[in-house]
């Protein structure tokens, strides 16, 4: 059964998903259109195994869902508004200093 996450939980899940460049690329690809894992792996230039781990994370975060299509599985954004949120984030202006990085940029984690 699906439930609606509280506001802070939604932001935390979204932030964790965006913390990895491959997951960012996946979300942007799925913003354009739903896709099958093999097509996503080819588009992103990553192995199917690596892609599978990232898709599992995005599923666990609640940002993507699977849709059975015959014997294959297609992935798509869980809510079309996520595509709009990604577009807004891409157009946001971020103030960064050239010699600084995010303190936890080296941390790897998932939802």
Which architecture characterizes domain 10-91 according to CATH? Orthogonal Bundle (1.10)
Q: What is the pTM of this model?
A: 0.79
- The full DSSP string for 28-44 is HHHHH--B-HHHHHHHH
For residue 60, what are its two tokens? 């666990």
Q: Are 55 and 47 spatial neighbours (Cβ–Cβ below 8 Å)? A: no
Predicted confidence (pLDDT) per residue in 36-75, tens digit: 999 999 999 999 999 999 999 999 988 999 999 999 999 9
Q: Are 42 and 51 spatial neighbours (Cβ–Cβ below 8 Å)? A: no
Q: Are 14 and 61 spatial neighbours (Cβ–Cβ below 8 Å)? A: yes
The vertex-90 CA angle with 89 and 93, nearest 5°, equals: 80
């Amino acid at each position: 059964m699906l439930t609606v996450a509280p506001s802070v939980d939604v932001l935390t899940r979204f932030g964790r998903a965006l913390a990895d460049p491959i997951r960012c690329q996946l979300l942007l690809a799925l913003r354009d259109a739903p896709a099958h894992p093999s097509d996503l792996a080819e588009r992103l230039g990553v192995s199917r195994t690596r892609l599978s781990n990232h898709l599992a994370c995005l599923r666990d975060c609640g940002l993507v869902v699977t849709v059975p299509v015959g014997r294959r599985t297609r992935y798509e954004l869980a809510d079309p508004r996520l595509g709009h949120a990604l577009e807004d984030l891409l157009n946001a202006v971020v103030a960064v200093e050239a010699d600084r990085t995010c303190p936890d940029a080296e941390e790897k984690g998932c939802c």
